Every structure is written in structure tokens, then in C-alpha cells.
Amino acid sequence: MTFETLNLHEALTRALQAAGYTEPTEVQATAIPPALAGADLMVSSRTGSGKTASFMLPALTKVLAARGKPATPGTKARGPRVLVLTPTRELAMQVAKAASDYGRFVPGLRVATVVGGVPYGAQLAALRGPLDILIATPGRLIDHLGSGKAVLGSLDMLVLDEADRMLDMGFIDDIRLIVEATPKARQTMMYSATFAGHVGRLAQELLREPQRIEVSSQTEAHGDIEQRLHWADDFEHKNALLDHILTERSVDQALVFTSTQRDADWLADRLHEMGHSVASLHGGMPQGRRNRVLQGLRSKHLKVLVATDVAARGIDVPTISHVINFGLPMKEEDYVHRIGRTGRAGRTGLAVTLAERRDSGMIHRIQRYTTQRIPMATIVGLEPKRAEPRPAPVTPLPRGAKPGKGFGPRPAGKPFRPAGKTFAKAGPRPAR
Ligand code: AMP
């Protein structure tokens, strides 16, 4: 399929050409036609699959169609035509960038972002003026609705991006309040990794005769991402493995995940002392600093980013060649989101998980969730001394799938000897 067959407005096909896209991705090819026809959609599509354009191109089509038309009868002419709700500020910024990129030839396109953690002034100014597309996190938008500064009476399209995550973060009441402020006749597109349980119930509540689109579920193999699991004897061993991996020549840029904000700061300090160009990124940092760090990553001034889960949502930097799980995620589905930060935009990526014995429960849960075994790997000279925990039964690797490099039995009797490796220069690890 080509973009021509989607019959998009010329301003949009030009932008797609300028972005260098030759054909729609699967989620774009499946979701865009019903979205253009006005259907409500429930879409599951893995991160990195091109899902942003699958709602942004129909959204921009609405904006183009509304040019010169009066506002919806009975409503004031104020307020956006399209609202995209996202769980995190980073994802909101990412979606806003996509809106500007895909909408670069839409004359006078007005896009605004309303997220928490930044001053109100610029947001208020943007909300006062005419607006086409508003991208918001629920909490801050509720503030602006409460004060009457945000008006959603002219809305044609509502998009809920990563709806499962928004509900996990406790935004259900905020979402309901926001939806109440929108016209009933709106079109609604809901994106979520799953539509089981409360996400499905919310979909039933908000969507009218929705079409269900499922493109690549989280249980499908990540073809572009090679996964590896390294067992570490202890924290010191884990540091040695990380240090070794970060010095491999194949590392273009690495995203290292920790479980806590304090671990992220501590590890970034340690890597900095070792001479890496590194920064940390987590929800405890002011938004301005978070933006600067992300900018540093995009411009390749940073080679290593140490981040927590929440902050890493929405990071779309195609040059991230390695995702390293230094601390395991709290939830198994976050593993899928984490590794999806590499292998993007047609590139390949390596996702390495460093696990200690006490992490074996989470490793089992991740493997059950993805129904794939993460192939085990070792590094010569850094093999674990202890036997790996016995793997729990999972659906075996699909036929033809190859285990990662270095997979195989641990050389018998070879002790872990981190010869010449530097450890933990930044002082003791903080207590949890
Ligand atoms: P997303 O899943 O929306 O975060 O997109 C993942 C990456 O794929 C982004 O870097 C997009 O710029 C890129 N992308 C989106 N659509 C296409 C396409 N049709 N062809 C090539 N790359 C694309």
C-alpha cells in the first residue's frame, strides 16, 4: 500500500514525503481509512509502530476540513478541534512534535501543549488564542477546564493515547470530567496495549460502535530488537556487566533503566565519573531540565541516558542502539515499553536485562507476559559464579527464532573475576 491510496490531503502527503516515509506502516494502513470515514476506533499497536501518525493524519484532515467552516452549531468558536490526551509530559511533547512535523504544510496550524510541571503563563496564552490541536496530560487540563480557560465545545476528535497507562496512573476521573466537556458528536480514537478490564469498560463508555484494530500485540516477537538476559551474582557484578556493555563499539546511544529516581541519579553520577557523557531523567526533575536532557540525547551530546519508567515514556530517538535494564520494571508490561525505545524507525536494537537472583520472579512474569523466553547471555571474563535460577515454563521461543549471541552453557568452574574493572566510584549505592 502507498500513502496515495489513503487519499490524504496534498498538504499531508507533502509532509510525509518530506519526512522520507515511502509507505504507511501496518497500523497506519489499517487505522487511517476507518478514521477518515469517521469511525470510533480501539487500537492496540506496539510502541514504535508509527501509531502517532495513524491518529495525527486523520486529526490534521479534520483540521483542514474545518478551515473556514463555522464552529459546531450552538457552541462558541473557541477551543481546539482535536484533543490528544497522553499519560506523560514526554509523550505529549513527542505527539506535539509529530503534529508540527506532519502538519508543516497546513497553513497557520496552531498546536498547543498543556502539561504539568511547567508555568501556566504560556499555556494560558495558547488557550486564549485560536487553536487547532491541543495535546494535554489530564491533570493540567482539568486545572484549565476548572478555571474556564480551556474550552472543548468545538471538539471534533478526541484521542486517548496509551489509555491503559493513563488509567494505571489514576486518571480515570479526570478523563471522565474532560470527556463531559466535549460534544457528544465527537469522533473518539482510543489507543491501548490492552482493552481488558477497566480500559475495556472505559472504551464501552466513551466510544460509539468502535472498530477494533490490533496490529502487533505485545506477545509478538520484536523482530528488530534482540533481547539478552545476563544473570549477575550481586550488585557489583551487575555494575561490571553494565560497564563492559557500555564500552562495546556497537553502542551508538544507550538508555539505561533503573527502578528508582535515586538509583537513576546515583548511576548517572557513577557513569559520569567514569567519563561517559551521561545524564539522568526522571519525574522528580523540573520539566525544563527534562527537556534539556532529551534535547541533549537527540542532538547526540549525550551517549547514555539513565532513566526511570515514567520519564522514558514517549522517548523516540532512533539512534538509541541499546536499552539496558539495570533495575527491573515494577510491571511486566513496562518491560515491553522499555525495550521498544530501541529498534525504532526501521533500525535494529539490543535490549539487555541485567538480573540478580532476587529478580527471577519478575523475569518469569515478563516471560509469561510476552510468552517469550529472553535468551540468556554471558560475557567472557564476567560469567556468573552462581547457577542461573531455573527458568519457569513459558511458551517456547517461536520456531526459527535464534537465541542471542553468547547464549549457551556457562563455562564450568569459571569464577567471576572482574579484572581491571572500575566500580561504584560515586560512593555507596543509596539505600532503597
Ligand atoms: P510512533 O510509533 O508513532 O512513535 O513512531 C515510531 C517512529 O516511526 C517515529 O520515529 C516515526 O517518525 C517513524 N514513522 C512513522 N511512520 C512512518 C512511516 N510510514 N515510514 C517510516 N517511518 C515512520
Q: What is the CATH number of the domain that holds 84?
A: 3.40.50.300
- Residue 349 CB less than 6 A away from ligand 1: no
163-172 average pLDDT score: 89
The answer to whether residues 242 and 310 belong to one domain is yes
Place of cell 532529551: 294
Q: Is residue 218 pLDDT above 60, yes or no?
A: no
The answer to whether residues 157 and 134 belong to one domain is yes
Distance CA 151, CA 144 (A): 9
The answer to whether residues 255 and 372 belong to one domain is yes
Place of cell 460534544: 183
Stronger pLDDT, 144 or 344, i.e. the higher one: 144
- Residue 54 CB less than 6 A away from ligand 1: no
The answer to whether residues 301 and 197 belong to one domain is no
Ligand 1 atom 20, closest CA = 21
The answer to whether residues 232 and 147 belong to one domain is no
- Residue 88 CB less than 6 A away from ligand 1: no
Range of the domain at 199: 3-215
Digit-coded pLDDT (tens) for 336-358? 889 988 887 667 889 999 999 99
Distance CA 65, CA 5 (A): 19
Per-residue pLDDT, 308: 94
Per-residue pLDDT, 223: 54
The answer to whether residues 72 and 144 belong to one domain is yes
Ligand 1 atom 15, closest CA = 50
Final residue before a domain boundary, out of 215, 249, 273: 215
Q: How many Å lie between the centroid of ligand 1 and the Cα of residue 246? A: 27
Give the confidence band of 398 by pLDDT, cuts at 50, 70, 90.
very low
- Residue 320 CB less than 6 A away from ligand 1: no
Q: Is residue 252 pLDDT above 80, yes or no?
A: yes
Place of cell 502539561: 115
How many folded domains does the chain comprise?
Answer: 2
- Residue 46 CB less than 6 A away from ligand 1: no
**pTM value surpassing 0.75:** no
Beta strand 225-232 pairing with 349-356? parallel
> For residue 17, what is the enclosing H or E element?
helix 10-19
CA angle (182, 184, 188) in 5-degree steps: 80
The answer to whether residues 316 and 199 belong to one domain is no
- Residue 25 CB less than 6 A away from ligand 1: yes
Tell me how far apart the terminal alpha carbons of the chain are, to the nearest angstrom.
52
165-185 average pLDDT score: 93
Question: Phi and psi dihedrals of 239, rounded to 5?
Answer: -60, -40
Per-residue pLDDT, 2: 84
Final residue before a domain boundary, out of 215, 244, 268: 215
Digit-coded pLDDT (tens) for 97-116? 999 999 999 999 999 999 99
The answer to whether residues 290 and 147 belong to one domain is no
What is the best residue among 21, 161, 339 to mutate for testing ligand 1's pocket, by most ligand atoms within 8 Å of CB?
21
The answer to whether residues 203 and 246 belong to one domain is no
Alpha helices in 187-286 (DSSP H): 197-206, 235-246, 261-273
Distance CA 385, CA 388 (A): 9
The answer to whether residues 142 and 251 belong to one domain is no
The answer to whether residues 154 and 243 belong to one domain is no
355-370 average pLDDT score: 92
The answer to whether residues 91 and 195 belong to one domain is yes
